Structure 1
Amino acid sequence: MSPPPIRFADIAAETPTRDGLAARYAELNALLDRGGAAARAEALARWDRLRRALETWSALVRLRFAQATDDPAARAARAYADALAPVATGHEVALKRRLLADPDRAGLEAATGGHAPRLWEMDVTTFDPAIAAELEEEARLSARYTELLASARFAIGGATVNLAGLAPFAEDPDRGTRHDAERLRWDFFAANGAELDALYDALVRLRHRMARTLGYATYAPLGYRRMRRTDYGPEEVARYRDEVAERVVPLVARLLEARRRAQGWDRLRFWDEALVDPEGNPKPVGDHDALVAQARALFDRLHPRLGAFFRLMEEGGFLDLRNRPGKAGGGFCTAFPTHGVPFVFANFTGTHHDVGVLTHEMGHAFEMGHAFQCWESRDQPLLDLLWPTMEAAEIHSMGLEFLVHPHIGLLVGEDAAERFRRMHLVASLAFLPYAACVDHFQHEVYAHPDATPGERHAIWRRLERRYMPWTDYGDLAHPAKGGRWQAKHHIYDAPFYYIDYALALCCAMQLWARAARWTPMWRCAGAAGRRRSGRWRGRRGWSRPSPPARSPGWCARRRRRSRPPDPGGREARRHGATASMGDCPGRRLLLGLAGGSGCRRCGSRPTRRRSSGARPSGLRCGRPPRNGSRRAATGAATPFCAGPRSASRTSAPASCSAGAGRTACAHRAGAAARGDVGGHRAAAGRGARLRGVRRLRLGRVGRAGVERPVRL
């Protein structure tokens, strides 16, 4: 890749006006009035150039506001953009309606592709000029929430920090320091709780009013359409949440209980959950400059093409990673479609979150090296096709977080690399119940738009008991009464945009497990938003993030002909679930946490076949019950072990040999995840066998070792 030299300082966009937009769209309609395929093609091209210019201007305005929320000029520009957005949307939706009404649908799809018109069909049902004022007010309220959180200041450890700056103290090995950090955080939310409740109450009622104006019973269906979800709806998401509650919550509870025992705590408090590693969470090497330099080396090692892209962003000034007063919290990736270059925004705080946010947002920026959402896709014919919908876009960002595992020592130090991989996986699993809770909370809130703030807090407490029953806030009064949700900005400014992370995380884990199969994934380059997420996941051999009721399993849609050569012979091809995992500790850890992997053909986990001698030999397929247990003679359920079996094969083995054959022992890997490498407790059980993890087919990942560069 030889990108042209470009710098962020050189990117400029003309500020649009209402009259200017009206004139430009009048020209487009006049061009369509001529009729014919040529006129339509010319109108589409001009329209796309106009939309790219507007999107670039809007991205610049919103980025500059996030960089300095206390700058009056940035605030004024953001307010102007919020006021102009409904006007631009009105013109855009009117043109989409006209294009969709064209009787020559085949000609339209030939010019735009089949996916863009389907997205437009969603868009035209989400806007009407009658709700323009509500949209402007919604943006204003969301901006006020951002300003309020960015104004927070805390004195701790001899320094004054913002909300993001509390992170190092919230992960400090000293329990008292962690408690102080959380107390300061939640004292701020308690002090501003009334305003936060008022902001959200206004947003909920406003969104419900918009939904009723557009003909919807509640906001939920409108929210799904605004997210452009063409493949699934609230019912499918509800089934997914049930799966998380049934299968993931017990697993996370066991992991947290093991952590409590390992640390010797009497109870696991809320301020203890952030300390995932008993030795202290691994931190990035050096300061901002050192981490960026090491990231440059990491992407070079992954692939020269990715390294060159990272250099383009670094040298062009498309990275804003330092934390500073007045800067909005969190991280995001935005883009400037007129130039096709992304921008990564983050707040480095000296914690492992710096590594996570950098790799996550770079995954958005260059979509894991397969299809740079902003760079590689810049030549797509329509703006609609530059980005996938969000549940698909998050696969690439979360996937890159896993794909850098073999080289993570460059960012955290080789001595802490294995601890970081373990911490990242455990934290990822623990994230799923929280994401389900955030999503369920929003469905409940918008189903009852007239609820009082107190009733909304009660809803959160009830759902928290279902998805995170281990949470103990101690003396933190504000989250204890149900106010934890106020810290999640998605709930305020991006309704229903959170379950996307959980869905994408399951797919990202599958991508990680298939890390050796880069060739078919690389052919996705430039695809970006051309297909709806379910379609291109299926075409590329990916599993669905949640199995539908009619499906026999996660891999019902995979393309068998895309299997790579297996040098292990017929038995290895049929039962290679762990036989070709190589020595990657992250994959062994996943096997341990998930209670074993599955047979390629039937999905059940392998057991060891005994020969006439005392040592186990041969790998065969065992079919444990659906709940992940085997029944002893007494009928009691006992954990199922994926490692060497005892003679009875009805219970966990008395001893385990992690090196037996090429099969990793689930007991040893699960114990390692708990920091107890000598323990042989079973890691399987009813809650451990999350389908999204159990069906990863880890035997398909090849024999790459930890330090082997990812092949593209």
Structure 2
Amino acid sequence: MEFSKMPYRRPDLGNIEKEYMNLTAKFSKSQSAEEQYHLILEHEKLSKNFETMMSIAYIRNSMNTTDPYYEKEMAFFDANSPVFEEYQQNFYKAVAGTQYRAELEKLTGKLFFTNIELSLKSFSPAVIDLMKKENALVTEYEKLLASAKIDIAGTTVNLSQITKFSTSPDRKLRKEAWEKSGAFFVKNSRRFDEIYDELIQNRTEQAHKLGYENYVQLGYDRLGRNCYGPQEIEEYRKQIVQNLVPMIVKLKKQQAKRLGLSDIKLYDDACLFSDGNPTPKGNTQELVKKANQMYHEMHPLTGEFFDFMMENKLFDLDSKAGKAGGGYCTSIPDYQSPFIFSNFNGTVGDVEVLTHEAGHAFADYLSRNMVIRETACPTMDGAETHSMSMELFSRPWDKLFFGDEAEKFHQYQLEAALDFIPYGCLVDDFQTTMYENPNLTPAERKATWLRLEHVYRPWIDFDHLPFFSEGGGYQRQHHIYSFPLYYIDYCLAQTTALEFWSASEKDWKEAFNRYLTFVKAGGTKTYVELVELAGLELPFNEGCIQKLCKEINTYLQKH
């Protein structure tokens, strides 16, 4: 079904509560694993329908944040998704206490129980009101970001559209774009400070009520991290600082030379070439048509998937006034449909969406017939591996999108992928520090961000830019507010994706088949198991980053 024709109906919470109470009571009284399994399937139907309606409302609100109807519907979900979670958790309690666990695990998989136990640990009715408030604060933050109207070069743009100017080959224009985006944050600085402080206090209070020392482990549990913890991530970040950061410092010196500069200012960092970054050839319709060709040539399954996306118009790609910023892929489970949302702006990012978000959508499409939703999708480290790997597997088709700039894009893509990892570690280190020290003042938070900038991105000169030189940069990274502790998943995934890329340089087809094995497993295995299944090395294993850096360095020297 086309997305525009999918009906939306606000979930009836009263009816859902009755159905869950009935399911829970039946489950506790049932006399066989088979009977309990069928009740789990009934739960899956209820859960899928609620998720479907929430996704439709979220997408339509993202398309137009000024639409009062879907603004009201999102307020409903902000307030009531924790209530729904309580009904679901009561059912999970009954499931976790089953006397038929060994038999049920054969039907649901062991990881189903691992995941619901993590879910139970990280939720209690005692935190519902706090979760409602948290949701409302996140929505306010997202709306504040979307409200930006910045005048530049004779036009008015939002924070997504300004990227075209902030990466321009014209250095004065780049600097102006950074200054003006910074001015928006300075103007709203007090509220951005207040929202983040309220979120930290809120999440810390939730952690304490649930018996955690602070929000860090609660955040890990809520993200379903079932095979590693903060210690492994700390080790990973150390490897990045020791091995990858020095390599990038050398690459940045080469970049400065290409740009004819003595050093890299903040507004130079994302501009890799003196004549500008590679730009895709074609408008939105033409780029989608090229993506269609690529996915049909890539593999029968990717072609089938993209046909489904096209036939059902499961995209909203062009940037426009009132539209939420950024890009994402989400799932609409009742219609077995992924949906890709973005803000095309004429930059290299447009093609990255058609590969990155399509990687998510492809995985969602392949898992559409998995009846147990709790293990249909892996944890976010695995999910982001789907998307970031697809970006790199698409390299043989770069000429299709970039024409005579294909080789230039190859260099851009690899350097940008490497450049991203220390930034992602910076975001994670910052958040971990914030939740371990929840009573820092806004000024202390900014000082922490600035200190960590010098650890993870020592090549950047902030050139006294307002907002950015004062350590405010974290306020523009919406994951820090909206998806706490998520961001390191991108780093792990980028590392795993680069391992796939390295394998594809030797044998593309063999590497892609390993990728398909990874994706088809969905969430039936942990991230550690998925990486091992694909014959790759775990990013936080000692020596992994050093080995990968050597392989990439060898490639860059040859090219």
TM-score tier, shorter chain, comes to over 0.9
The answer to whether residue 392 in structure 2 is matched with residue 402 in structure 1 is yes
Contact between 2:382 and 2:530, CA under 8 Å: does it hold in 1?
no
The answer to whether residue 335 in structure 2 is matched with residue 342 in structure 1 is no
The structural deviation recorded for 1:520 is: 4.3
Equivalences for residues 435-584 of structure 1 within 5 A: 435-515=424-504, 516=508, 517=510, 518-524=512-518, 526-548=520-542, 554=544
Instruction: State the SS of the aligned residue for 1:160.
Output: strand
1:576-606, Cα deviation, whole Å (9 max, x unpaired): x9xxxxxxxxxxxx9887443xxxxxxxxxx
Distance in 1 separating the partners of 2:55 and 2:332: 7
1:530-560, Cα deviation, whole Å (9 max, x unpaired): 1111112212312111215xxxx559xxxxx
1:382 is matched with which residue? 372
The structural deviation recorded for 1:111 is: 2.1
RMSD over equivalenced CA pairs, Å: 1.7
Contact between 1:61 and 1:74, CA under 8 Å: does it hold in 2?
yes
Contact between 2:223 and 2:380, CA under 8 Å: does it hold in 1?
yes
Contact between 2:329 and 2:357, CA under 8 Å: does it hold in 1?
yes
Which of 307, 324, 327 in structure 1 is aligned with 2:320? 324
The structural deviation recorded for 1:671 is: 7.7
Matched residue type, 2:527: S
Instruction: State the SS of the aligned residue for 1:475.
Output: coil
Instruction: State the SS of the aligned residue for 2:409.
Output: helix
Matched residue type, 2:557: G
Contact between 1:31 and 1:39, CA under 8 Å: does it hold in 2?
no
**TM-score if structure 2 supplies the norm length?**
0.96
Q: 1:264 to 1:524 in 2, by over 3 A?
A: closer
Distance in 1 separating the partners of 2:299 and 2:194: 49
Contact between 2:223 and 2:486, CA under 8 Å: does it hold in 1?
yes
Distance in 2 separating the partners of 1:364 and 1:594: 25
2:170 is matched with which residue? 174
Distance in 2 separating the partners of 1:408 and 1:158: 32
1:241 is matched with which residue? 237
Contact between 1:346 and 1:358, CA under 8 Å: does it hold in 2?
no
**TM-score if structure 1 supplies the norm length?**
0.75
The structural deviation recorded for 1:74 is: 1.4
Distance in 1 separating the partners of 2:175 and 2:4: 42
2:14 is matched with which residue? 19
Distance in 2 separating the partners of 1:139 and 1:428: 31
The structural deviation recorded for 1:411 is: 1.0
Equivalences for residues 253-268 of structure 1 within 5 A: 253-268=249-264
The structural deviation recorded for 1:521 is: 3.9
Contact between 1:592 and 1:670, CA under 8 Å: does it hold in 2?
no
Q: 1:522 to 1:431 in 2, by over 3 A?
A: closer
Instruction: State the SS of the aligned residue for 1:408.
Output: helix
2:557 is matched with which residue? 670
Distance in 2 separating the partners of 1:398 and 1:525: 12
Distance in 2 separating the partners of 1:16 and 1:41: 25
Q: 1:465 to 1:521 in 2, by over 3 A?
A: closer
The structural deviation recorded for 1:295 is: 1.2
Which of 141, 154, 161 in structure 2 is aligned with 1:158? 154
Bigger radius of gyration among the two: 1
The structural deviation recorded for 1:70 is: 1.4
Distance in 1 separating the partners of 2:42 and 2:237: 43
Distance in 2 separating the partners of 1:532 and 1:293: 35
The structural deviation recorded for 1:134 is: 0.4
Contact between 2:288 and 2:354, CA under 8 Å: does it hold in 1?
no
1:622-678, Cα deviation, whole Å (9 max, x unpaired): xxxxxxxxxxxxxxxxxxxxxxxxxxxxxxxxxxxxxxxxxxxx6xx4385xxxxxx
Matched residue type, 1:22: E
Instruction: State the SS of the aligned residue for 2:25.
Output: helix
Instruction: State the SS of the aligned residue for 2:472.
Output: helix
Which of 134, 144, 150 in structure 2 is aligned with 1:148? 144
Contact between 2:259 and 2:272, CA under 8 Å: does it hold in 1?
no
Equivalences for residues 677-696 of structure 1 within 5 A: none
* Residues paired across the two proteins, number: 552
Instruction: State the SS of the aligned residue for 1:374.
Output: helix
1:281-321, Cα deviation, whole Å (9 max, x unpaired): 11011111111111111112212431232122123110100
The answer to whether residue 203 in structure 2 is matched with residue 210 in structure 1 is no
Instruction: State the SS of the aligned residue for 2:407.
Output: helix
1:65 is matched with which residue? 61
Distance in 2 separating the partners of 1:174 and 1:595: 30
Equivalences for residues 274-289 of structure 1 within 5 A: 274-289=270-285
1:354-385, Cα deviation, whole Å (9 max, x unpaired): 1112210000010xxxxxx3222111121112
Matched residue type, 2:296: D
Distance in 2 separating the partners of 1:83 and 1:430: 38
Q: 1:514 to 1:267 in 2, by over 3 A?
A: closer
After alignment, is 88-97 or 508-517 more displaced?
Answer: 508-517
Structure 2 alignment gaps of length 5 or more? none
Q: 1:13 to 1:51 in 2, by over 3 A?
A: farther
Identity %: 34
Matched residue type, 2:466: A
Contact between 2:141 and 2:481, CA under 8 Å: does it hold in 1?
yes
1:18-77, Cα deviation, whole Å (9 max, x unpaired): 311211112212321232223202211111111111110111111111111111111110
Q: Tell me: higher relative CO, structure 1 or 2? Use CA pairs within 8 A at least 6 residues apart.
A: 2
Instruction: State the SS of the aligned residue for 2:382.
Output: helix
Instruction: State the SS of the aligned residue for 1:198.
Output: helix
Matched residue type, 1:375: Y
Matched residue type, 1:73: Y
> Which has the larger share of helix?
2
